Structure 1
Amino acid sequence: MTTIKDIAEHAKVSPATVSRILNYDDKLSVSDETRQRVFKIAEEMNYQKKKLAKYRLKKKKIAIVQWHSNTEELGDLFYMQIQYGIEAKAHDLKFASTVYSIDQIIEKIDFDSSYIGIIAVGKFDHTEITALSRYQLPIVFIGVNTLGLGFDCVNGDYTLATRQIIDYFFTKKITDIGLLIGIEHTKTEKLVLPDPREQTYKTYLEKLGYFNDKLIFAGDFTPQSGYNLMQQAITELGTDLPHGFIIGNDTMAIGAIHALQEADIKIPERVSLISFNDISIAQFTNPTLSTVHAYTETLGENAVSLLLERVAEPDAVPHMLTFASKLILRASSL
């Protein structure tokens, strides 16, 4: 198992610095570059693969388009994980890969003839998809259903995972279940994006007869938002604070843990927490996080394979690959 000391040695910082970065200590004064380096090394070591060297330019290249900026990635590592999967697969196949932001794509950049296609990671609106289409390259999307627009896509299944979390809480005799969730918008048109976890939470608990809309708290997918939302729940609900919480991602859960610990609320004795994505830092929190493993590397790797299929058969019927998620139980809910 990867340790904080292992990460520190590779990142060339102290173990204490690694621990504070992985736990989103906002009092730590380090650069975003250092934070990104630590997070990236933690993810790579978690997959038990060597850190990727800078791959020299080959005859064929793949463009990776991220909807998040580098700064936004620090608050939600999900898309960084997917990007790592794409880069690893491309590296194995002797392709070079270059990362662009959606803003760069909209501003219009020049792709030379060595680019075989685009993998777009995140949630994109009509304006952005139109901008991607004008490059006239095969495109695979990750994280959004684009079949209706004629594009291949790769997605994870969060619907079943949300039901599994609720079922697990019920086996622990926890029927008062709260939800901390982020609200996402597309970058250009600012469209609000529906979240399958929130939709499933509502419909499944309604079916079971335990839905309470006062237990939903929405903000951003960041540690600070997780902290603020849990503080809000503690203040507003008092002794009616739910005994179980589903949290939109692991970084939000880290903030929620800080808020509960400040309020001297025991985890999991008083409040059990289960989040999503299973990024590497989930095993370094105190307590360690129960979370849904999203197989992000698998999503990235299969997007590369799907892109190559599209290059080989441009007229094939568009299709979507959907991968299951797995509930990983750790100390925050046991």
Structure 2
Amino acid sequence: MTTIKEIAAKSGFSPATVSRLLNNDPHLSVTPETKSKILKVANELGYFKKINNVSDLKPEIALLYRVNGNEQLQDEYFSFLRDAVNKVGKEKGIKLTFFTELNELIQQASIFQGFIGVGTAELTYKELEKLHVVLPNGVFIDINPAPELFDSVQPNLELTVQDAIKKLIAHGYDNLGYIGAESFTLDHKSQRDIREITFTEYCKTRGIKNIEVFAKGIVSVKNGYNLAKEVVNKLGKKLPDAFIIASDTLSVGVLQYFNEVGIRVPKDTAIISINNSDVVKYVSPPLTSYNIDQIALSKLAISVLLMRITNSELPQVHLTMNTNLVIRKSFN
């Protein structure tokens, strides 16, 4: 195994300085140039890959944070996720360096052993291929933009939708609706979202013949509002017994329009949403929503990244985590 002395000899710094840096000593004061040189040498010598006990690993990790800044509620979800990753990293004694620009991370990649990605706004597959060349150890949270290149940890949205359908059936509902957005590839090509596909196919397997699907556009409050308008224009007062809505952001827009036209939730139609963001407690009525445990996602992501750093030859790993339903007044 590569030793502290070997890294010190090649980098030109004392073993004490190297040891303190590699163990993330918060009281160590060194220049960025010193830090960069020591970590680059440690990477070149394979120091981090040869640590047998993952719990002893204290790597330098980059946090790549990419959101579009156009949709407050959706961006807040990723903002909370970013904060959760930082919190878990601190608890584990792992230092994370924040990046919003991919090219900047690529330029400084040699001092990091891996990265965690939150959001993919304005990223392309070609850009991620360039990142993989210089920093192949990476885990994306909540999304899976390049499964051939990087690991991912995500909420199990397929199981979430199935569970919602089961609960609605158990309450005697046999006329169900779905409101959602489209999913988009990194090359901006539209595709059906897994939540919509699961809703349609699972309703078939459960013998539910009366379904209505409204799914297009992006995840935004405005799109939720417009989709709710389409619902009313098409169906009038003959609404489904309940709607499953793909995200709280869309649900807020749906509720706005329903309230404007006098549709009473849950009396006229019930709503089950997904994400359990802070805002759902304060809308009228408060939304029943599936909770995505962002702290648990962050812990899992960091664990996967540590495994990847020490075992880089493993095939890519893609893990899903269950959600749990928080009952409020939109469905009970």
C-alpha deviations, 1:264-287, integer Å up to 9, x for none? 111111110111011122222221
Q: Tell me the percent identity.
A: 25
Pair 1:158-2:154 in alignment = no
C-alpha deviations, 1:158-189, integer Å up to 9, x for none? 112111111111222222211111113245x1
The CA deviation at 1:323 is: 1.0
The CA deviation at 1:242 is: 1.6
Aligned residue number for residue 129 of structure 1: 128
Paired amino acid for 1:126: Y
SS in 2 for 1:219: coil
Alignment map for 1:180-195 (pairs within 5 Å): 180-187=179-186, 189-195=187-193
Aligned residue number for residue 47 of structure 2: none
The CA deviation at 1:143 is: 3.1
Question: Are the equivalent residues in 1 in contact too, given 2:99–2:105 (CA < 8 A)?
Answer: no
SS in 2 for 1:245: strand
**Whose Rg is larger?**
2
The CA deviation at 1:194 is: 3.8
Pair 1:260-2:252 in alignment = no
C-alpha deviations, 1:6-63, integer Å up to 9, x for none? xxxxxxxxxxxxxxxxxxxxxxxxxxxxxxxxxxxxxxxxxxxxxxxxxx99965422
Question: Are the equivalent residues in 2 in contact too, given 1:118–1:138 (CA < 8 A)?
Answer: yes
SS in 1 for 2:107: coil
The CA deviation at 1:68 is: 2.0
Return the alpha-carbon distance in structure 2 between the equivalents of residues 167 and 213 of structure 1: 14
Aligned residue number for residue 251 of structure 1: 249
The CA deviation at 1:95 is: 3.1
The change in CA–CA distance for 1:215 and 1:309 in structure 2 (over 3 A counts) is closer
Return the alpha-carbon distance in structure 1 between the equivalents of residues 109 and 288 of structure 2: 45
Deviates more, 1:266-275 or 1:153-162: 153-162
Question: Are the equivalent residues in 2 in contact too, given 1:178–1:245 (CA < 8 A)?
Answer: yes
RMSD over aligned Cα, in angstroms? 2.7
Paired amino acid for 2:206: L
Gaps of 5+ in 2: 1-28, 36-58
C-alpha deviations, 1:112-156, integer Å up to 9, x for none? 644221112346763243132132341112234579625322122
Counterpart among 95, 113, 116 of residue 116 in structure 1? 113
Paired amino acid for 1:314: S
Return the alpha-carbon distance in structure 2 between the equivalents of residues 217 and 186 of structure 1: 16
Aligned residue number for residue 290 of structure 2: 292
Counterpart among 277, 280, 302 of residue 279 in structure 1? 277
Paired amino acid for 2:303: S
Return the alpha-carbon distance in structure 2 between the equivalents of residues 295 and 183 of structure 1: 23
SS in 2 for 1:322: strand
Deviates more, 1:308-317 or 1:196-205: 308-317
The CA deviation at 1:221 is: 1.1
SS in 1 for 2:254: helix
The CA deviation at 1:90 is: 1.4
SS in 1 for 2:134: coil
The change in CA–CA distance for 1:306 and 1:139 in structure 2 (over 3 A counts) is same
Return the alpha-carbon distance in structure 1 between the equivalents of residues 200 and 85 of structure 2: 33
Question: Are the equivalent residues in 2 in contact too, given 1:86–1:301 (CA < 8 A)?
Answer: yes
The CA deviation at 1:261 is: 0.8
Gaps of 5+ in 1: 1-55
Return the alpha-carbon distance in structure 2 between the equivalents of residues 109 and 126 of structure 1: 14
